[in-house]
Structure 1
Amino acid sequence: MTTTTTEELSATTLLRFATAGSVDDGKSTLVGRLLHDSKSVLADQLEAVQRASAGRGQDGPDLALLTDGLRAEREQGITIDVAYRYFATPRRRFILADTPGHVQYTRNMVTGASTAELTVVLVDARNGVVEQTRRHAAIAALLRVPHVVLAVNKMDLVGYRESAFAAIAEEFTAYATELGVPEITAIPISALAGDNVVEPSAHMDWYGGPTVLEHLETVPVSHDLAHCHARLPVQYVIRPQTAEHPDYRGYAGQIAAGTFRVGESVTVLPSGRSTRIAGIDLLGEPVDVAWTPQSVTLLLEDDIDISRGDLIVPSTDAPPTTQDIEATVCHVADQPLTVGHRVLLKHGTRTVKAIVKDIPSRLTLDDLSLHPHPGQLAANDIGRVKIRAAEPLPVDSYADSRRTGSFILIDPADGTTLTAGMVGESFASPEPVAAEADDDGWDF
């Protein structure tokens, strides 16, 4: 097994990517092949997989077992939960999220792709583009994942025919382009045989593009959030009240985006009160500047009312605060989301009561048409919603900030996550139909 030195790692960039695709398209096998052929698997892990594979009567190691770690996953032969893997090559470090393919677990694909800069969408060369393929492409577009790789898998089962690959690549590219995916790269592979995963295939001389790993190592990554809109959601107010620091009052949290500097004028939202940064503590030491994703404590010049859930931003770059939020959402719960639904809305570190005032449209994945005013969104549906929050919230457009432009809706009865939302327009919306008011105390 090859090793990567600390010096080499410090000079490499980081790529977060996710895999997606329908059931049995070979996602876990692809991930296992990437880890195995890039020599990122420890010897004892490989031995354990070989023993488990032999116990199931298989001649060689089942590389899917490198990621499918749950007993239910191994018994059913499917991926259920998101499996995260960390590996590195001399050229780049990777955080990989292997997401489930079954429609029942689409919600987990949303989780895995929410922080990804690239998504690998697998398609079985025998089946072509199916509904779940379209759903995953739509989610990648909705989450504004900048790079999508179409991996046409199991090419060995269609005789490595170029025509089979070309037809699937053309259909998927047209669909994803209409969704607004900015970059699509199609690669023909066989994850089981290792064709075009890490090493070029000897069976597809008609293909002259990169292997999957080569593309992952060379795709341009731009996730320098230090130059984005500066945002610090307050997670905790620190008041040690010690003899050494009797008047210490700090506001702690992880910087969601951007950079903060001592002396900078900042505004606290939603109150709108302004002050200046008197100091920044990082790991118990004072610093002059801090940036995302550091966890810091800000000390402010003025003693103003700040609590968990508030957002500290530069005074010259404050987002609007509003109780009325329009967003595109992916509904992830079995319970439908309906017009008039009472929910909790979690944005950053703040959670408030809210009402679904309207569902203007639902996206039809087959032809990307909009079904107007469906009345509800079922599990895995993508649609537009209008929400009224009980309190003003400082929200960015998701296009400007994936961190402060997103939210989740929660069932107030049992805490179940209902919906993942992205603030701002993504699909055209018909005229709204207002929700009927009632007197249960949830209308704002």
Structure 2
Amino acid sequence: MPPKKKGGKKGKKGGKKGDKDDGGSAVGEKSGTGGKELNELSKEFFLIQVKDLEQRLSRYQKKCDELSISNAEYEEKYKQVVQDRKEIVDFLKKSLEQRQDDISDLHDRLLGLQQAKDTEKENYETQLTQHKRESQEVKDRLTSENMILGGKLSSLEEFKVQKENLMQKFADMETKLQKQEEDHNETIYNLERKAVVDKDRLKKEMVLRVNNVAAEFRKVSNKQMADTTKRNIRENVSINAQLAKMSEKTKELVQENDDLRQNDKKQKMQIEQLESIQEELAKKNHSNLKVLKMITARARQQEVVLEELEAREQDYSQLEEDSSDIRKNNEELIEQVENLEEKTSSLEDKLQQTETEKHEAIAAKERLEDILTAAAYTLKQATTETDTDDPSVAVKRETMIDRLLLVLNSAALLGKAPPPSDFFKQRPKFLWHHWQPSRTPLN
């Protein structure tokens, strides 16, 4: 064993020193007596040192066990945290990927709808501009036509007034003509009747006169007969003159009636022409009204389309707001993931620190165990040597004591035990009181 070898070497050195000294036996006895007292004190000191080291060892063992339990708990927590983190990260990644897919789909849909909206807007704006231009042209054309038709209508109304006046005059003239014709017929009838009556009367008178003349012919001479004939001829001439005047008057009335009939025909033709013009104007107005209704309907359709476009634009703005909200949610989720990663890293740091402390405690425990093992072995070797008169035994004990001091100094240097000088400050009685020299071997 290494302690025996070291002791042997020191024993050889002690032997060599004993060979060099002339009074070897006297020195051996003195060293034996001093060694015995020193061994008594050293044993007490080493026992106290061992007890202190055992207490420290038990404390470090307890602390190591606590650290082991804490380390196990931290490992369980760490595993749970890692598992939770993994699940949370997986869930957040899936949510983030789903949100990103949704955002990309919504973005693509938004771009498609935006392009469709822009295309439709351009088409509708082009159509609306064209319709406005066409409507303005039709409106201007219809306005000019309406102005022309208004002028014609006003002239037509004037013509209607003139027509009514002419028709009234024509009716008055017809009434007058009819009355004149009735008067003329009555006059003719009266004249004819008067002529017939006069003729009958004259005939009767002539017959009577002829009879009278025939009766008186014989009585009256040729001179009287000539006067009656002359008077009859004059009356016939005056009647013929009156009949000629009446026939001329009748011709004039007939001519005037023909003229009135010609004027009536002309006015009727003008009225028919004006009525046809009025019908054409009414048809044009009706067609213009249809065109205006069509333009109004198309304008209303364009308004409906514009309202739909405005509604779509509102939908687009709502979609943009939703996408911004989703982006904000994703940013919050990313921040949560970063916070979880920071917490996980802090827990990892704590776990690593705990493991470091655990390893340090285990290393300290192992060093203390080595120190205690060396101290116990040294004490065992020191107590098993019973022959105190042998100089080599005394040298071995001194060597063991030096070794124990070296061990204790190394423990003090490591900070795991007090320096050996502190033990010598105590009183020997106290040391002897706590030490029981049973000389039992230490296990």
TM-score bracket, shorter-length normalisation:
under 0.3
**Greater helix share, 1 or 2?**
2
**Greater strand share, 1 or 2?**
1
Greater radius of gyration (CA): 2
**Normalising to structure 2: TM-score of the pair?**
0.15
